[in-house]
Amino acid sequence: MKTAYVFNGPNLNLLGTREPAVYGAQTLADVEALSRAACEQHGLALDFRQTNHEGELVTWIHEAGRAQAEGRAAGVILNAGAYTHTSVALHDAIKGAGALVIELHISNVHAREAFRHHSYISPAAKAVMAGFGVAGYPLAVAALAGM
Ligand code: DQA
């Protein structure tokens, strides 16, 4: 069984209380449960993580790239949070590790502030999803299973 990695970046541990008008009322634990149910449905194992540290995301993407190269991983669903808009290091990590990444955002970043319109992840990603709320996570799992 291949693993679907779901990596969440900074401030996503605050889901449920963080700007609920933007991100909804569901917690990160709820998001993990949604992702797990989708993985079970699609025959994938789930490795679900969150960190507030950019370098940790870099290391995790390297790990996922290795697992993918060894045939053990389906790919990565990456919500890099604000690092999406700032991190050349994450861009380089995805390319360097050869990881298949679906970039995911809970909110529609293109309907928000101009500083959220640019992503360093998108040019290195296989696909981009934004604006489906936390329902985007199971949708991304289904997409990953079909890739
Ligand atoms: C986010 C959008 C980012 O702009 C923001 O910094 C986040 C969350 C989203 O899921 O909508 O932390 O990635």
29-61 pLDDT, tens digit per residue, is 999 999 999 999 999 999 999 999 999 999 999
Q: Calculate how far, in angstroms, residue 1's C-alpha sits from the geometric centre of ligand 1.
A: 30
For residue range 56-108, list pLDDT tens digits in order.
999 999 999 999 999 999 999 999 999 999 999 999 999 999 999 999 999 99
What is the Cα 54 distance to its own chain's centre? Answer: 13
**Residue 124's pLDDT is what?**
98
Amino acid at 80: A
The tokens 């940790």 sit on which residue? Answer: 56
Amino acid at 69: A
- 5, 91, 105, 137: the active-site residue: 105
Amino acid at 131: G
Q: Which two tokens stand for residue 45?
A: 């194992």
Q: Please report the sign of the dihedral spanned by the C-alpha atoms of residue 27, residue 10, residue 18, residue 109.
A: negative
Amino acid at 86: T
Distance (Å, whole) CA 97 – CA 30: 29
Q: Calculate how far, in angstroms, residue 67's C-alpha sits from the geometric centre of ligand 1.
A: 26
